[in-house]
Amino acid sequence: MTDSWDTIADWYAELLRTGSAMHDFHCDLLLGLLPDRLGGCRVLDLGCGEGIVARAAAARGASVTGIDPSPRMIEHARASGAGGPGTVAYAVDDGCVLGTVADGSVDWVTAGLSLNNVPDLDAALAAVRRVLTARGSLAFTIPHPCFEAPHAGWTRSADGPVRRVVGDYLAEGFWRSDNPEGARRAGNQHRTLSTYLTALVRHGFVLETVVEPSPSDQVVAAQPHRAGLPPFLGVRARSLHALAAAP
Ligand X SMILES: C[S@@+](CC[C@H](N)C(=O)[O-])C[C@H]1O[C@@H](n2cnc3c(N)ncnc32)[C@H](O)[C@@H]1O
Residues that bind ligand X in the complex, under the rule CB under 6 A: 5, 23, 46-49, 52-53, 68-70, 73, 94-96, 112-114, 117-118, 183
> What's the min distance (Å) between Cβ of 163 and ligand X?
25
Nearer to ligand X, 130 or 163 (CB): 130
Nearer to ligand X, 2 or 155 (CB): 2
Nearer to ligand X, 41 or 73 (CB): 73
Nearer to ligand X, 52 or 149 (CB): 52
> What's the min distance (Å) between Cβ of 117 and ligand X?
4
Nearer to ligand X, 28 or 168 (CB): 28
CA-based end-to-end distance of the chain: 52
Nearer to ligand X, 163 or 191 (CB): 191
Cα 151 to Cα 3, 78, 158, 169, 225: the distances in Å are: 18, 34, 22, 9, 17
Give the strand order in the sheet containing 205-211.
Answer: 87-92, 63-68, 42-46, 106-112, 132-143, 232-239, 205-211
> What's the min distance (Å) between Cβ of 246 and ligand X?
31
Residues 31-39: contacts with CB within 8 Å, 24+ apart? 31/56, 31/57, 31/60, 32/211, 32/234, 33/139, 33/209, 33/211, 33/234, 33/235, 33/236, 34/60, 34/108, 34/110, 34/139, 35/60, 36/60, 37/61, 38/62, 38/86, 38/108, 39/85, 39/86
> What's the min distance (Å) between Cβ of 111 and ligand X?
7
> What's the min distance (Å) between Cβ of 239 and ligand X?
18
> What's the min distance (Å) between Cβ of 76 and ligand X?
9
Q: Which residue is nearest to ligand X (CB)?
A: 49
**Is residue 137 a contact partner of residue 144, using CB atoms and an 8 Å limit?**
no
